[in-house]
Structure 1
Amino acid sequence: MKVKLFLKFLCLIYRSDRRGLYELSLSWSGFDNNSVEKGSFIDIAFSGDNNSIPEVLNLSIEFKGLKYNTFNFSIHIDKNKFKGLKEVYAVNRTMEIDGQKITFEKVIIYPTRIALYIHYDPLNSKKILGYPDIGIVDEKGDIFGQISNGVSGTRKDDNNIILYFQSNYFKKPKELYVAFSKVKAIGKDKAEVIIDLKNKMILKKPDEKLKLNDIVYNKNDIQLTFTLEKIDNTNNLYSPFYSEFEDSSMKKYHFLGEEIHGGREGKVEEVLIRIPNVSYDNPIKLKIIDYPNFIGGKEVKVRVK
């Protein structure tokens, strides 16, 4: 008999003085869906300078599904080993794409990754959601793509983000460019979805590509099923909603889970979210963080060095 075990875990990261760390991002690899053993990893990325990295990193990981489920350990960091191992290039180039101002501030090249700092004009009418085909290109045309098996970016706030790419630190290219052609963006007035749970209907949504199919009340959760029509016709799946949401009283809640399934010919996907089955001040509001809506379309190249 084959048994599949799926573990949920909570990871806490803190300094030796028990203070939390706020200038980091965390990601982890998924578990295999078949019976083959698979190693998994947790990727921790700091977005600050060396002063924000502690000498001792303490981790407390709680696994749900194991008898002895809490593991505590410390990692000692020798910052002298990577001191000075970075190249900083000031870019400070502002591009205007369909009326949206995007400033590429700087690029920092580390041995393990490239960090691209981007600032959005607060007066932009659209919320920038991402860059499907962005990459770092050298003078030979070699492309260093965005990291996909770890932390791919850090959002410091709505107008400042950092994107991470594969590193070319040891190749020492003569020229470097940021290159892309498409930008995912949505009007700031359309970047939310309002759902009437009682009457099982959407009161506000970005457009007709998003549909609410069903709302099911279970014992411990409420399951909402959506379909999302994609216009880019790719195998990429969208995770449209931010995991934190609020009700009409502005009380904050979090998803219990989310599933995304591909649909017919890659043109439609199904998004299933589970939220706590509690008494909400109806309706609830979900934030859009990813959506099949694009601006631009022409190739853009920004010189880094």
Structure 2
Amino acid sequence: MQHPVSSSTQCSGSRQASKRLPLLALLGAIGFGALSPAQAQEGNPSPTAGSSYSQDANRRADQAKYAPIEYANASKPGPKLIVLPGEIKASNASFTQKVTPTNIADFAEIELTRANFVVLERSDLGPLLREVELAYQMGDPQQSARLFQKGKLSATKWLLKFDVLKAEPVASSGGGISGGTAARLLSIFGRTQAAHAGAVVADSVRTDEQVQVWLVGLRYKILDANTSEQVANGYIEDKLETGRTSTSVAGISSNAAGGLGLDSLVQRLVQRSVAEIDARYK
């Protein structure tokens, strides 16, 4: 037998439910709970997706994404060539941890292929390519030329090398504000509650901004595969700025950091080098 529910019990339950609704709305407003419809639609699991901070960070990231360029003579086929891993003659540890000669050669192969050069795959050449590299490093290009008379290398026209000659932070700047001094002055000259409140707020003020500028220079060399003579060379240099800023006032803080990565800058230098090779020497 079912017992009827008293009206007082129903009222109590409805009051508890009405109390929960504002709490759920508040949790949803500050980011707890389910994803927003826009997040669910995009399939983005980030709890910050769509916020102003997310938009700012994504805008900075978009500026560093790979951006293909159009090569002037891409419709004209280029000669068969091999990209040899170059040298990084800069000794800055921050740079060498992020960029390697193999990275640069890989970037170059991608861009040369897009410019319609016939690029031989280094991994397919195996020990023979290592003999070629060794011959050039030991200063014996004649031996390298003899190696290029063999097999699939016989039709190769060019060897390309990309070397980093310069990679160093050349300038930095920064500064900030601390509200401690202003807070002490307010405490000395002001005895009212308003002055005390102002001193508390002033003491909480902290700002900081730091900027660093790198200079990176890339040289390319084109060598004749059969005679070992240098066909052409070029040098391209560019700068890179990285920075961060932070602000905190009365418990409210914000910060931002970003800039083009060192490997992204090298990739863009490779693009400019290939554009020059495509325009001048194809």
Instruction: Output the TM-score relative to the length of structure 2.
Output: 0.21
Q: Which has the higher helix share?
A: 2
Q: Which has the higher strand share?
A: 1
Structure having the higher Rg: 2
Higher relative contact order (CA 8 A, sep 6+): 2
